[in-house]
Each structure stands twice: as structure tokens, then as C-alpha cells.
Amino acid sequence: MPIGRATPGNAPSTASGIHAFCSRWLQGRGAALPRDRQQRRRISAYGYTQAKALVYSRYGEPEDVLSLHTHSISPAHSTRLTLRFLASPLNPADINQIQGLYPSRPQFTSALGTAQPSAVAGNEGVAEVISSGSAVRTVQKGDWVLMKRVAFGTWRTHAEAEESDVLRVEKDGVTPVQAGTVSVNPCTAYRMLKDFYPLQPGDWFVQNGANSGVGRAAIQLGKRWGYRSINVVRDRPGIEDLKKELLDLGADHVVTEDEILKKSFAEEVKEWTRGGRESVMLALNCVGGQPTTALTKVLSPGAYMVTYGAMAKKPLQLPPSALIFRDLRFHGFWVSQWADAHPEEKKRTVDEILEMTRKGEFSDMPVTEVKWGWETKEEALKEAVKGTLEGFRKGKGVFVYRDE
Ligand SMILES: NC(=O)c1ccc[n+]([C@@H]2O[C@H](COP(=O)([O-])OP(=O)(O)OC[C@H]3O[C@@H](n4cnc5c(N)ncnc54)[C@H](OP(=O)(O)O)[C@@H]3O)[C@@H](O)[C@H]2O)c1
């Protein structure tokens, strides 16, 4: 008997009954089936799609609270879609959300038939529409879509969605990883460079965490728009290689946190900015804590600092003189809130970055692909999640789903 097919004698007759039945049945049987059957496309005779998701029922450390849950998805009807995920990144915010430290909290529900109400982890990703209800108008089978809202739950092989939950993207000429990572990091960099201070070609900005996904996007977009950048990274073995990598992306200067703290650094900045006649009016702060103080020293009077990350997990350290005597302005940015308020603008931003990617004008951030197939074990997925908040990583983790 194929996976997911209910036995004729005991199959429930209502849709929700069948759904719950399939979920329970799958949980009990999936692991015991012969390999050749497990590899088949997982759509049952009743049109139910079989899915796996990394879920959690309480907040905590990912290794303690995440579990791999198998369930079935009923056939798409009306304005509903069935999605097959292609790629979902593991962003630092995803971990904060699982820990209960993120402002957007998921809804814990029984929709997937878990023993306790649960939520699916993950916020960003790209999925393919594999079926749609008869009232769906804006997307069709085979289209690629991103999630419009935060906390959708993207660490899963398949999902049910409303048509209104998703944003169609043009898939030609981009990879799943490129499409799956476009809506958070590059969009954040784009909006912070455009929406706080009207930088003009030739103007300077400074940023820390410059080797992060956001930082790399800011370097490239800044270069494209003619802005010049001073980029701060943490020292490490092989720092010269990292500096070269960022210079090749379009950075004007790359310095370490230690170098920026040296007394002589102010003189260097003066040299770069024609004796200080060119101003540095924008800082992008990924780190927080003490490294923030160093950024303020580079800024010109009246400049803007936009804080978007807190990787040091410490409060901002700001010298009062920066506010009193130099009138620096401190702001924050959260791409989720921006996207909710500006859905059309989000679409334009995503489309523009994907178009640059297509033309070879925007390079991918380094990623570590984590293949997720039907037989991938919970432990392997949790192991991949574990390193997300660790420093000095080779690349961002991205779940890439096998089409089986
Ligand atoms: N506000 C928003 O809308 C928004 C959007 C996107 C991202 N973010 C935030 O931006 C930050 C970076 O995200 P991402 O996705 O770009 O990250 P990412 O690509 O995973 O890179 C992480 C960055 O954080 C640095 N880092 C890690 N641990 C650190 C520590 N203890 N002290 C200082 N730096 C440390 C890393 O530098 P090393 O190589 O030196 O470890 C790297 O530059 C996160 O805090 C994330 O939540 C915010």
C-alpha cells in the first residue's frame, strides 16, 4: 500500500477526519516502509501530500525544542495552494524566534496534528506551487513564491497556504538559494541605504558586521549606487583573505574592530575623505555593544546610525558627546515591519535584486547547503540549525529540499 493511502475499511469519510487520520497513520508508519516506497513522490491516492516539518511546541534552545514531524496536507481547494519548499535559509532571527526572544511570535496550533499545539520554525524561503484551488488567480502550478509575512514557518518540505500569503517571483535565471535568501538580507541592506539618509553618489557610509549577509549586500548595492563604504569585521586567522573578498565585492575599505579602535584610525578616515571634507552620514550597525562606539567616531555631525542587529548580545554603548555635541541620530530598522507596511515596495525591491542577480550584478552570500530529503534524520537537521548563532562561520546555512 502506498504511503498515505488510508485502508478502505477504516478510512474516515470527512476531509478533516481524513487529514487527522493520515497524519496519525504517517507518524506510525513512515519509518517502517521499504526504501523504494519511501522514495516515491509523496502524494496519496486521495490527493494528500505528505510533508515533514521542523516544529516546536515551546520556546527554548533549538536542539531541545525542535522535532521533525510528519503529516499530510489535504488537496488544495478554493483560494488555497499546496507548496513544495525549494530552499529556506537559517537566519539568526529564526533562532531568536525559537528561543522566544523575537518580537514576532508564531501561533502554536494543532493544524499539523502534533501532540501539543506547535509552530513550524523558519521565516524565509522559496517554494514551488504544486497545486492550487479553483479560485486562485495570481499564481499557478510551477510558479515560485516567497512568504509575505514573518513567522509563516519555512523549515518544512511542503505547506498549505492561502493565495494571499505568498508573493510570486520570476524564477527564470535564478537558483532556489538566490530566490530563497533575497527577501531578508538584501532587502534590509537596500532599505537601510535608501530610506534613512539621502546618500548621493560619492558619499560614504560605514558598517560593522560587514561580512554578514546584510553587510555583503550593502557593500554591493552601495557600490552600484556609487556610495563608498568603510567596512568593519572581526579579526580572525586569514583576515587578509576576508578583506580581499569584501574589497572584491566593492568595499572601499575593510578594517578590523581592533584597527578602528586605534587612535590613528581617525587620521586614516581623514585621508580617505579628503581631510574630512567628505562626510560619513550613515552607519549600519549589525553588532551592538562596544563596537557601536567605534562606529560613532567615524560619523560626521548630524549623521544617522541605523541599528538592525544585535550580534554581540550587548546593549549599545554610545558616548553622550555623540548626541550632545555632534547631534548623531539613532534609528532602528526591522525588515518584517517594513514589508508589512509596504507590500508593493517589498515586491519591487525583491524583483530589482533578483534582476541584478540574473544579470550577474549581485553576488550570492556564502552559504552552506543542507540537503533535506525524505529520509534526512531529525538529528542532522537540528545539527545544522545549532551553529546558526555561532561566529566566524563559513556561510549561512540553507535547507535545500530534494525533489523525491
Ligand atoms: N532588522 C532586520 O530587519 C534584520 C534583517 C536581517 C538581519 N538582521 C540581523 O542582522 C544580523 C546579521 O544577520 P545576517 O543574516 O546578515 O547574519 P549572517 O549572514 O549569519 O552573519 C552573521 C554576522 O554576525 C557576526 N557575528 C556573529 N557573532 C558575533 C558576535 N558575537 N559579535 C560580533 N559579530 C558577530 C558575524 O561575524 P563573524 O564572521 O565575525 O562571526 C557575521 O558578520 C543578525 O543580528 C540578524 O538578526 C536584522
In terms of domains, do 77 and 128 share one? yes
The pLDDT tens digits for 348-392 are: 999 999 999 999 999 999 999 999 999 999 999 999 999 999 999
- 157 assigned to some structural domain: yes
Ligand 1: residues with CB < 6 A are: 91-93, 184-185, 188, 209, 211-215, 233-234, 286-287, 308-312, 333-335, 391-392, 396
- 134 assigned to some structural domain: yes
Listed in sequence order, the residues at least 6 apart from 343 whose beta carbon sits closer than 8 Å to its beta carbon are 148, 167
In terms of domains, do 141 and 271 share one? no
Nearest atom in ligand 1 to 310's CA: 45
DSSP code for 343: H
CATH number of the CATH domain containing 245: 3.40.50.720
In terms of domains, do 44 and 30 share one? yes
Could you give the strand order of the β-sheet that contains 204-207, starting from the edge strand earlier in sequence? 253-256, 228-233, 204-207, 280-285, 304-307, 329-332
Owner of C-alpha cell 475499511: 9
Name the domain count of the chain: 2
In terms of domains, do 236 and 137 share one? no
Q: How far is the centre of ligand 1, averaged over its atoms, from the C-alpha of 266 (Å)?
A: 26
In terms of domains, do 132 and 117 share one? yes
76 exposure class (CB count in 10 Å sphere: 0-12, 13-18, 19+): buried
Listed in sequence order, the residues at least 6 apart from 22 whose beta carbon sits closer than 8 Å to its beta carbon are 4, 6, 44, 46, 48, 50, 71, 72
Q: Specify the residue with its C-alpha closest to ligand 1, atom 45.
A: 309
Q: How far is the centre of ligand 1, averaged over its atoms, from the C-alpha of 33 (Å)?
A: 42
CATH number of the CATH domain containing 24: 3.90.180.10
DSSP string spanning 281-296? EEEEESS-STHHHHHH
Question: What is this structure's pTM?
Answer: 0.90
Domain boundary among 287, 316, 337: 337
Task: Indicate the helix (H) or strand (E) that contains 378.
Answer: helix 378-386
Domain boundary among 322, 337, 352: 337
Owner of C-alpha cell 556564502: 366
Give pLDDT tens digits along the chain (404 positions).
233 322 233 333 334 444 444 444 444 333 334 443 433 457 776 779 999 999 999 999 999 999 999 999 999 999 999 999 999 999 999 999 999 999 999 999 999 999 999 999 999 999 999 999 999 999 999 999 999 999 999 999 999 999 999 999 999 999 999 999 999 999 999 999 999 999 999 999 999 999 999 999 999 999 999 999 999 999 999 999 999 999 999 999 999 999 999 989 999 999 999 999 999 999 999 999 989 999 999 999 999 999 999 999 999 989 999 999 999 999 999 999 999 999 999 999 999 999 999 999 999 999 999 999 999 999 999 999 999 999 999 999 999 999 88
In terms of domains, do 168 and 288 share one? no
Active site residues: 102
Tell me which residue of 60, 124, 52, 54 sits closest to 93, measured CA to CA: 124
Tell me which residue of 147, 86, 19 sits closest to 399, measured CA to CA: 86
Contact 284, 215 (CB under 8 A): yes
Q: Which domain holds residue 284?
A: 185-337
- 84 assigned to some structural domain: yes
